[in-house]
A and B are shown apart, each in its own frame.
Chain A
Amino acid sequence: MTEGTVAAPVARRGPGPVVVTGAGVLSAYGRGTEALLSGVLSGRPAFGPVDRFDASNRRVRVAAVMPGSPDLLTEVARATREACDDAGLTAAERARSPLFLAIHGDPELARAPEPGQPGLGPDALTAEVANRGGLATHGLRCYMSACVAASTAIADAAASIARGQADRVVVAGGYLVDSDQFALFDAGRVLAADGQVRPFSANRRGLLLGDGVGAVVVESAQSARARRAPVLARLAGWGRAGDAYHPVQPHPEGRGMARAITAALQRAGLGPDGLGYVNAHGSGTAHSDPAETSALRLALGEAAGTVPVSSTKSLHGQVLEASGVLELIVTMLSAGQGILPVNAGFLGLDDECRLNLVLGEPLAATPEYAMSLNAAFGGANTALVVGLP
């Protein structure tokens, strides 16, 4: 690691290999993995005017949304079933698979009368998704760690499986653009007033929200082999670390993210040169993109200047708690197809964000390993490394 990085403990992991055997998704491009992949690889951002609720008194009125007003519980349950179908899980296998759900909470909670609030907790939502998917009734977890909620859930699932504590975990995450979060992000003045997300670019103006629901089946390689299940990707490494810098701003040098990347590479048994693609957090905000660039330089050294990088938030938007699972699916599917998605909205070089961005059109490449990065309020950072079959 480059001098100057905060010393990190050397990561350990259990001995069992971990794989992903199924995926299900919803995004502004539509329902299903084919819609997501074709949308992302089209290079055309999915942003448009928001008409799901009255945004007329907001500073910015744009997001990446599906038509209509899809219901979060319904869509998370549908994506979860899609992932289990994709993995070829039988009813009996589903009934033994616990659910880790990444979600902000029940959308009804904030307007519920006080006596009804306890019944609208995230645990109840998680149990209902599990019930609708025929999943296990035990071992359920709900993660509410903002934009690293889903990636943290995936890391926990992988760590548990690697240690033999579970054979399989279904990890799902969901966020659908809603009036309350939209108002909050607008009030926080972080939404891009020019209607485009421009990660790592000069003149970037901020982020835009998006609809995102994703689910993956995380499984021990042994279990997948026993079922003769096709493998979408190996979950080779995972890492998470904190910045210890500020409640809502990243460390300017990306120290926490650098340690998360290092831990993920250690667990994958991989050097920096082994990565063939990075799906960056790339929020498109002023402070976050330079911090992430610094993190990549700290953790990868010279390889940070050569590995292809793109932030697909420039296409599907910021999907909050679901980011980690949606972007992992994008990473697995696109790298698996041998086509890396563009970093859309790029206007010009920012000296603080010098990376080998995929610009203009998708890049034909067949990386052996790819990494998905996420960061959140609280200085929370995650890195997931997948190996492509």
Chain B
Amino acid sequence: MTTPVSLAAPGVLGLAELHAAATAAALSVTASGCWPETDADVEVTPLAGFIESAFSPLIAEVAGRVLRRRAAVVVAPDDAAEGGPELAATDGAVPDVAAEDGTVTAIVLVTALGDVTSAARVAAAVDAGKRVPPLLFFQSVPNAVAGYLAARWHLTGPVVCVSETGAAVDAAALLLDDADADEALIVRADLGVTGGARDRAAAILVTGPTGRPGIDLRERHEHPRHRPY
């Protein structure tokens, strides 16, 4: 039996920040998750092909939690409106399958500093005149773990990485408004870089509000005011 961590824990605070930003942008949160989420979240599960840093495994972990919960209602509308995360333990209640229903899901990563552990490891090897492990090449940009998520969960939407939550939510809202995606997985991950700071990550799956005006290009010729320009 696990218990939720304190509402003041870094992962929960990160999730609250994501909820609040999504709510402010009039997006609907359909699933959410964070790290650490319960007192069992001590060491993140390693991710095959990614080495020496918790950055990519953290993103894979919280994204996996959200995507396993996508079919379950884990965020009541009232909770979302208040910006508060609902940490219902429904992992495993939903079949662990990729979305094959044609839903297009964008991946929007947010990180203030990126994978500083890997970057420091590379710098140390370069400064020492040593060989850099080839696997560090593949994880040298946050896109790589996004590609892992996309392949694992069949997420065919755009892949974006920005450094700030508000920018991520704005970018996701625009992707939804313009039909580049049906839903967006927004993942925030930050390694603890100062003394005592814990690694933390949070993720939400969002859909857009309906009816925001935009040109549906299929209807261009049916609506004279929307002529091609």
Query: Can you name 17 extra interface pairs (CB under 8 A) apart from A114-B194, A377-B141, A379-B147?
Result: A9-B180, A9-B181, A13-B214, A122-B112, A123-B164, A141-B163, A141-B164, A146-B143, A152-B160, A163-B177, A181-B140, A184-B140, A187-B133, A239-B180, A241-B158, A245-B151, A247-B144
Q: Is the CB of B161 within 8 A of A17?
A: no
Q: Is the CB of A123 within 8 A of B112?
A: yes
Q: Give bound CA distance, A149 to B102, whole Å.
A: 26
Query: How many of chain B's residues have a CB under 8 angstroms from any CB in A?
Result: 70
Within 8 A of B (CB), among A134-192: 141-146, 148-149, 152, 156, 159-160, 163, 179-181, 183-190
**A146 contact set on B, CB distance < 8 A:** 141-143, 161
Segment of A69-77, A263-271, A336-344 in the binding face: A263-271
Which B residues have a C-beta under 8 Å from some C-beta of A?
49, 102, 104, 106-107, 111-114, 116, 119-120, 122-123, 125-127, 129, 131-134, 136-138, 140-148, 150-151, 153-164, 167, 171, 174, 177-182, 193-195, 213-218, 220, 226, 228-229
Interface centre among B104, B106, B226 (most CB of A within 10 A): B104
Q: Is the CB of A12 within 8 A of B164?
A: no
Cβ of A11 under 8 Å from chain B: yes
Within 8 A of B (CB), among A1-57: 6-15, 17, 54, 57
Nearest-Cβ distance from residue A214 to partner chain B, whole angstroms: 19
**A266 contact set on B, CB distance < 8 A:** 217
**B214 contact set on A, CB distance < 8 A:** 12-14, 163
Q: Give bound CA distance, A156 to B160, whole Å.
A: 10
Q: Is the CB of A377 within 8 A of B156?
A: no
> A144 contacts which of B134, B142, B157 (Cβ < 8 Å)?
B142
Within 8 A of B (CB), among A344-389: 376-380
Nearest-Cβ distance from residue B30 to partner chain A, whole angstroms: 18
Q: Is the CB of B215 within 8 A of A244?
A: no
Q: Give bound CA distance, A149 to B171, whole Å.
A: 13
Q: Is the CB of B194 within 8 A of A145?
A: no
Q: Is the CB of B143 within 8 A of A241?
A: no
Q: Give bound CA distance, A326 to B195, whole Å.
A: 40
Q: Is the CB of B180 within 8 A of A241?
A: yes
Q: Give bound CA distance, A314 to B217, whole Å.
A: 36
Residue of A whose beta carbon sits closest to that of B156: A244
Count contacts between A and B, CB distance < 8 Å.
229
Q: Is the CB of A244 within 8 A of B155?
A: yes
Q: Give bound CA distance, A120 to B106, whole Å.
A: 28
Q: Give bound CA distance, A111 to B122, whole Å.
A: 10
Cβ of A256 under 8 Å from chain B: yes
**B147 contact set on A, CB distance < 8 A:** 242-243, 245-248, 377-380
Q: How large is the interface on A (under 10, 10 to 19, 20 to 34, 35 or more residues)?
A: 35 or more
Nearest-Cβ distance from residue A258 to partner chain B, whole angstroms: 11
**A244 contact set on B, CB distance < 8 A:** 150-151, 153-156
> B171 contacts which of A54, A105, A156 (Cβ < 8 Å)?
A156
Q: Given contacts A122-B163, A242-B157, A269-B220, is CB(A247)–CB(B180) below 8 Å?
A: no
**A267 contact set on B, CB distance < 8 A:** 217
Cβ of A61 under 8 Å from chain B: no
Show 17 residue pairs from A and B whose CB-CB distance is below 8 angstroms, ordered by the A residue. Answer: A11-B178, A11-B217, A13-B178, A14-B213, A105-B113, A114-B195, A115-B195, A118-B113, A122-B163, A152-B158, A156-B174, A180-B122, A243-B156, A244-B151, A378-B146, A380-B146, A380-B147
